[in-house]
Structure 1
Amino acid sequence: MGPNFRASPWERSLRSAAARLAVVCLLLAGAAARADHDPFARGFDAVPLKATPAQRSGIALEGARAEPAGSFRGALLLDYNRGLLALKLGDEKLGDLLPYRLDAHALFAWQLHRRLELAADVPFTLTQGDGFQLLRDSLNAPDFPGAAGVSRFGFGDVRLQPRAFLLLPEEFPVGVALSAEVRLPTGDGGSFLGERSVLVAPRIAVERAFGPVRVLGNLGMRLRPQHAQYLNLYVGNEVTFGGGAVVNLPDVGRFTDVQAIAEMHLATPAAAPFNFRQADSLKTPWEVLGGVRAHFYGGWGVELNVGRGVTLGSGYGREELRVMFALRYDELFIDSDGDGVPDSRDRCPMEAEDLDGFGDNDGCPDPDNDGDGVTDGEDQCPNSAGAKADGGCGDSDGDGVPDGQDLCPYMVGPKSYDGCPDTDGDEVPDNVDKCPDQSGPPEADGCPIDNPPLVVIESDRIRIKGNILFETGSATIQKQSLKLLDEVAVVLDRNPELGPVLIEGHTDNVGSDTLNLNLSQRRSQSVMDYLVSKGIESHRLRAKGFGESKPIATNATALGRAKNRRVDFRLIKSEIETPARTVPADKKGEGDAGKR
């Protein structure tokens, strides 16, 4: 009808009677679905699909990749939904009983153990629309049972979500995790903010990585000991499905760790899956979500997601529009020096804090608290400055290595190189480097290797003539080593029968055992990730760090330590029929080695 049409009293009475009859039909349909249930009981959350509080996951999808033990995530998420519960007369939609809702979620996740995470969600509805006057007007019955309005705000159901990691994706082709979500009935079910009783939602999460793309899949259930109903809408046990992908994107300005996410979620009644003959009573919610997230300052990041229900009209689990915005903080607990201060807050991540009660929060050791030149171990008054002690040995070049221990007393160099510089940056100090101006591996005394091949397949390994070089104290591969890794990728690609290949990370003995083991593991994983990015299937590769436990040369000299800092490619299983295969002479690269 047009905007200026005025119905006669007789027509209005007829429409009112038709509306009353429609509601009676709704109640009869609900009774047929569940004869023993109160059609006005309510007692279910009008927004059944929630954002996950878990780390390394999607928007609402769970992943199977674990963070290091001690890692933490906190987030404040705003979730806006429009068109939650529709009121229809036959095929005509009269409007929405819940036209909109804005929820705030305080999300937390803590990695208790490498294989166990505990997450939680504390929700609060900031505002929601009340369209129940529409029902009362349609029936011309102000006191109609069950037509009471809803609260404008209030607490929702608190969620607890432990997640156990059964198969880790870095160890198996497919990662598998078990999430056991529990929703406590802390919300107002009469206002559609929560459930009537405890809801248990177990689900299995699987994950597989394809280079920068992580594919996620979830299968689970929502189990309600007490089912809920409103008019003809019946909400009971549901089977849930979900699938999607997380794609790593390049950094954009100050935004780092940029990711794009796309997801699909589907739920259907367990008693009658995909029963479209009773679609008015037994809903099959279907929803799609997409978004982007990034860090902008340290562990601080933002996330924006949008979505809607896959349907022609809005309703339960099929909202007309959904927008989520989150401010999040992620702290990845990597403690390279083992001093209890995570690298993200450690000003000296490769030097352990001395924990003597003086400046212990920055992660840097303070060997001389009072700055008087007498180290704390020899200072009778470590916190009160006294006369500077004369060690009897000067430091001519000022590099911190006393002349009595400095093999290059008039040239600045680090202590790990016995005080000598490394002009060409190949980790072989100039005093023992036969080619100090040309980069080369330590097994060639620092001189470049010009005779191909640089990568050779042997019976038990893939041998590289060179070392993989990393940035000091990190797992970042230096650009000069990427060409050598590209040749390794070519060998693996041309020999698909090779593998699995164990990528071994090794260090020298400078630093603690824990530090060296952690660093070698991260470096071997970094090499594996690079080969995967070059198209090598991850199931053909393994990464393991051995720290300083397997030296191939003495650690008493700088050259020997350089040889011990290495990456090896060992064949766990091979079907090689000839003693050696080589890369063609036109495939050459440069060397590498781990750098502390």
Structure 2
Amino acid sequence: MLGPVALALFLLLPGMVTFAQTPLPGFELERLELNPGTEGSLVVGTGELLTAGQFRISAIAHYSHRPLMLLVDNVTYEVVGGRTTTHVAAAYALTNWLELGVQLPLVAAQWGQDLSSEGLLRPASFGISTPLAGVRLGLLTQESQGLLDLAVGGDVGFPVGNPEGFGRDAGLRYLPRVMVGRRFGFIRAALDVGVLLRPRVAGISPLGTGGADQLDNEVRIGAAVMTTGRRLRWEFNARGSLSLARNQPAAAELLPGVRYLVNPSLEVFALAGVGLGTAPGTPLFRFLAGGSFGDVTPRRGPGESSVRCDLGLALSPEECPDGDFDGDGVRNLEDKCPTIPGDSARAGCSRTDTDKDGIEDTLDACPTEPGDAARQGCPVSDQDKDGVEDSLDSCPAEAGPADNRGCPVKDKDKDGIENDQDECPDEPGPLERRGCPEEDSDKDGVPNRIDTCANERGVATNMGCPEHEEPLVEITHKELKLSGKVVFEASRARLQSRSFVLLDWVAKVMREHPEIPVVVVGAHTDDRGLSEENRRLSQQRAEEVRRYLIGKGVAAERLVPKGYGQDRPEYSNATSFGRENNRRVDFKIIRNSDENPESPQR
């Protein structure tokens, strides 16, 4: 709209003079700028970028009412009384901090009053508008730095649109900008400030005074407040501009909107609002609706359940902490058995005792075999009934004296090594291997060096353990690899009870593998906090794990506790995923005296 500061046609000319019809000069009328990534807000940059490899493509239909008005002898004329456009926008993140975006607007229909009697040609009713290409560079993220999301960027408008339909400026236009945002629980706020640099238009009308109807550079400001973490989201946007041309009016728009996630790859949305001010391109009101395709699922905020939890998808309990997958009235966040109904007194677990040995399965290291409490519910295994437990019996299938490690004194395999010195009396082997072709205590075809259950027959596909057991420790040449994680109470050295089963497996492996001489119990932290405090806490945690294993029958001299603090990260501490994985306990095997646990990690 061009109001009090717009053109007064024929003001300086006699009323009886007529003129040939003249077109208005070409300029870009559209003020609507989309957020190509649609992250947070549809029309305001929030400082939050897509993550590496993500993309979004949006298609939008848009109507603006009375975006260009002229004042002639105190009479207002609708040069453009209505305008319908379509916008296609796309964004792609090359990295977590670099996002590219493009926009292509098209004027589908445009209409207004016939001003031929005033000597002005009617603008074209359709055509291409100004295409935009932009880049955004992320500088800070609230997730990693804990302050706010901050990004800088810029858009370039190319003069390839239709000038007769107010679809292009006379040259390139630029919009450098700064975008900031921050989450406040389920509310997010954002501010977007930029400067539009465009070719100057001295007068919109060839009959103008050249001063009051010019177009020039301007400051553009956008602010938004939006909800997060739900399929149905709301947002409220306010956008304004301050012209850098003298005597030119300011303009503003208020645009509330709604968004709905149909499925993980499709989101639909709508915005409607009113314009305030008389700057060209500011409509009386506008309405737009459309959809986005691609990686459109809103990211999970701190402490939130994933929006995907509302879509009926198969997700882990960790992704839906507020859900109750087993329907036992205990939230997944507090439920130690989130897929099995239980009761709150057992943290969501049920009281089951599969082997009927009086020890609940949650506390039973061998839940399918009856045993006693002293062995955490596991039975005493002595296949040959010679009084020597299989875990200590070098010949578990043949009776022999305890002072001969349960083996008969003879050379059964005819390899020249008597059974009292032959660790594999049933299979011939060379002296350098102590009479074994390959160590395999339980004779299940899986060598001891990779057999997690060295004294129980198993299968190679289950790390040498029986098929009904789920081994939690894998033996490698350099370490005992855990399939789970040793967990402590926050900022303390006290073990959480859910770590006991995992550490029981470590103790079982070390008891059954006396050939493992020394294991360094290494505790690690992330880089949050003071480095000396982190080393002290990690040393206490390593010693706590060592005490637990000693209590489970592991010789003290085989365990060396070492707290490394934050000195040996395996992942980047810049992300919550990396920090979570850096907080760990590992078990490195020391086979030679020159392998010093104090030496730098190789």
**Partner of residue 167, structure 1:** 140
**Partner of residue 247, structure 1:** 227
Amino acid at match of 2:141: L
Amino acid at match of 2:266: W
Q: Which residue of 131, 136, 156 corresponds with 1:158?
A: 131
1:92-241 map, 5 Å: 93-94=76-77, 96-129=78-111, 131-133=112-114, 135-136=115-116, 141=117, 144-145=118-119, 147-169=120-142, 170-171=144-145, 173-227=147-201, 229-231=203-205, 232=208, 233-241=213-221
* CA RMSD, Structure 1 to Structure 2 (Å): 4.8
- The Cα shift of 1:166 comes to 2.6
Q: Which residue of 291, 303, 327 corresponds with 2:291?
A: 327
Amino acid at match of 2:285: L
Q: Distance in 2 between matches of 1:27 and 1:317?
A: 27
Residue 579 of structure 2 is aligned to residue 545 of structure 1: yes
Q: Which residue of 51, 63, 84 corresponds with 2:46?
A: 63
Residue 377 of structure 2 is aligned to residue 411 of structure 1: no
Residue 9 of structure 2 is aligned to residue 23 of structure 1: yes
**Partner of residue 266, structure 2:** 300
Q: Distance in 1 between matches of 2:244 and 2:47?
A: 25
- The Cα shift of 1:228 comes to 5.5
1:42–1:228: 8 Å Cα contact kept in structure 2?
A: no
Q: Which residue of 459, 465, 469 corresponds with 1:402?
A: 459
CA displacement 1:328-371 (0-9 Å, x = unmatched): 1233899xxxxxxxxx9xx9999xxxxxxxxxxxxxxxxxxxxx
Distance 1:61 1:332, change over 3 A: closer
Q: Distance in 1 between matches of 2:296 and 2:262?
A: 15
1:201–1:222: 8 Å Cα contact kept in structure 2?
A: yes
Structure 2 counterpart SS, 1:120: strand
CA displacement 1:181-221 (0-9 Å, x = unmatched): 11001111222122121111111112222222222112221
**Partner of residue 19, structure 2:** none
- The Cα shift of 1:105 comes to 1.3
Q: Which residue of 440, 455, 460 corresponds with 2:498?
A: 440
Greater C-alpha radius of gyration? 2
TM-score (ref. length: structure 1)? 0.51
- The Cα shift of 1:89 comes to 4.7
**Partner of residue 78, structure 1:** 61
Structure 2 counterpart SS, 1:61: coil
- The Cα shift of 1:249 comes to 4.5
Structure 1 counterpart SS, 2:9: helix
Which structure has more RCO (C-alpha within 8 Å, separation ≥ 6)? 1
1:530-569 map, 5 Å: 544-545=578-579, 547=581, 551-554=584-587
Q: Which moved more, 1:221-230 or 1:65-74?
A: 221-230
Structure 2 regions of 5+ residues with no counterpart?
Answer: 1-6, 15-21, 299-307, 317-443, 447-457, 476-482, 487-495, 505-528, 542-564, 590-602
CA displacement 1:375-426 (0-9 Å, x = unmatched): xxxxxxxxxxxxxxxx978xxxxxxx826855762525377689xxxxxx99
Distance 1:413 1:244, change over 3 A: same
Structure 2 counterpart SS, 1:48: coil
Q: Distance in 2 between matches of 1:414 and 1:300?
A: 41
- The Cα shift of 1:321 comes to 1.9
1:265–1:286: 8 Å Cα contact kept in structure 2?
A: yes
Structure 1 regions of 5+ residues with no counterpart?
Answer: 1-20, 29-38, 251-255, 276-281, 335-343, 351-390, 394-400, 419-424, 429-437, 447-456, 468-502, 508-512, 526-543, 557-596
Amino acid at match of 2:85: D
Amino acid at match of 1:83: R
Q: Distance in 1 between matches of 2:315 and 2:185?
A: 29
- The Cα shift of 1:164 comes to 1.7
1:122–1:158: 8 Å Cα contact kept in structure 2?
A: yes
1:309–1:317: 8 Å Cα contact kept in structure 2?
A: no
Structure 2 counterpart SS, 1:440: helix
Q: Distance in 1 between matches of 2:267 and 2:219?
A: 33
Q: Distance in 2 between matches of 1:108 and 1:162?
A: 12
CA displacement 1:296-350 (0-9 Å, x = unmatched): 2222211211112025xx772331221111221233899xxxxxxxxx9xx9999
2:26–2:168: 8 Å Cα contact kept in structure 1?
A: yes
Residue 32 of structure 2 is aligned to residue 46 of structure 1: no
**Partner of residue 317, structure 1:** 281
Q: Distance in 2 between matches of 1:190 and 1:93?
A: 21
Structure 2 counterpart SS, 1:554: strand
Q: Distance in 2 between matches of 1:317 and 1:404?
A: 69
Structure 2 counterpart SS, 1:235: coil
Residue 253 of structure 2 is aligned to residue 287 of structure 1: yes
Amino acid at match of 2:55: F
Amino acid at match of 1:554: F
Structure 2 counterpart SS, 1:190: helix
CA displacement 1:220-271 (0-9 Å, x = unmatched): 2111234263235321111112211232153xxxxx3x43221111112113
1:259-408 map, 5 Å: 259-272=233-246, 275=247, 282-311=248-277, 316-331=280-295, 402=459, 405=462
- The Cα shift of 1:158 comes to 0.8
CA displacement 1:456-513 (0-9 Å, x = unmatched): x99936989xx9xxxxxxxxxxxxxxxxxxxxxxxxxxxxxxxxxxx99x99xxxxx7
- The Cα shift of 1:116 comes to 1.8
Distance 1:440 1:69, change over 3 A: closer
Q: Distance in 2 between matches of 1:403 and 1:160?
A: 56
Q: Percent identity?
A: 21
